[in-house]
Amino acid sequence: MKILTIENDFISRNYLCELFSLYGYDSISARNAADGLDSFLSDKPDLVVCSVLLPGMSGLEFLNHIRSVGYNTPVIMLASHSSERLAIQSFRMGANDFLKKPVQDSQIIPIVERFANTAASDKQTPERYGDVLEGKVVYTFDTEIDAPYNIVRRLISEINPEFFDEGGIVNIELGLTELITNAIEHGNLNITFEEKTLASETNTLIQLMQNRLMDARYQGRRVTVTYEYNNDECRWTIADEGDGFDVSIVPDPTKVENLESLHGRGIYFTRFFFDSLEYLGNGNTCVVVKKRGILM
Q: What is the pTM assigned to this prediction?
A: 0.70
Q: Are 184 and 240 in contact (CB under 8 A)?
A: yes
Mean pLDDT check: name the lowest of 118-127, 156-165, 193-202: 118-127
For residue 172, pLDDT over 50 is answered with yes
In the three-class reduction of DSSP (H, G, I as helix; E, B as strand; rest coil), residue 43 is classed as helix
Place 171 in a pLDDT band, splitting at 50, 70 and 90: confident
Long-range contacts of 107-114 (CB under 8 A, 24+ apart): 107/262, 108/16, 108/19, 108/49, 108/76, 109/19, 109/23, 110/200, 110/262, 111/76, 112/3, 112/20, 112/23, 112/25, 112/47, 112/76, 113/23, 114/174, 114/177, 114/178
pLDDT of residue 289: 96
What Å distances lie between residue 233 and 97, 166, 224, CA to CA? Answer: 25, 16, 20
For residue 205, pLDDT over 90 is answered with no
Q: Are 78 and 7 in contact (CB under 8 A)?
A: yes
Mean pLDDT of the region 116-137: 63
Burial 70-80, CB ≥16 within 10 A → b, else e: ebbbbbbbbbe
Q: Are 183 and 223 in contact (CB under 8 A)?
A: yes
Digit-coded pLDDT (tens) for 30-82: 999 999 999 999 999 999 999 998 999 999 999 999 998 888 899 999 987 65
Mean pLDDT, rounded, of the chain:
84
Contacts of residue 264, defined as CB under 8 A and 6 or more positions apart, other chains included, come to 250, 251, 252, 253, 258
pLDDT of residue 237: 97
What Å distances lie between residue 275 and 15, 122, 244, 267, CA to CA? Answer: 36, 23, 23, 13
Place 131 in a pLDDT band, splitting at 50, 70 and 90: low
pLDDT of residue 207: 92
pLDDT of residue 200: 78
Digit-coded pLDDT (tens) for 230-284: 988 999 999 999 988 777 666 555 555 554 454 556 677 788 889 999 888 888 9
For residue 116, pLDDT over 70 is answered with yes
Beta strands in the chain (DSSP E): 2-6, 26-30, 47-51, 75-79, 97-100, 135-142, 222-229, 233-239, 276-280, 285-291
Beta strands in 135-240 (DSSP E): 135-142, 222-229, 233-239
For residue 121, pLDDT over 60 is answered with no
pLDDT of residue 295: 42
For residue 159, pLDDT over 50 is answered with yes
For residue 167, pLDDT over 60 is answered with yes
pLDDT of residue 84: 63
Place 296 in a pLDDT band, splitting at 50, 70 and 90: very low
Q: Are 75 and 50 in contact (CB under 8 A)?
A: yes
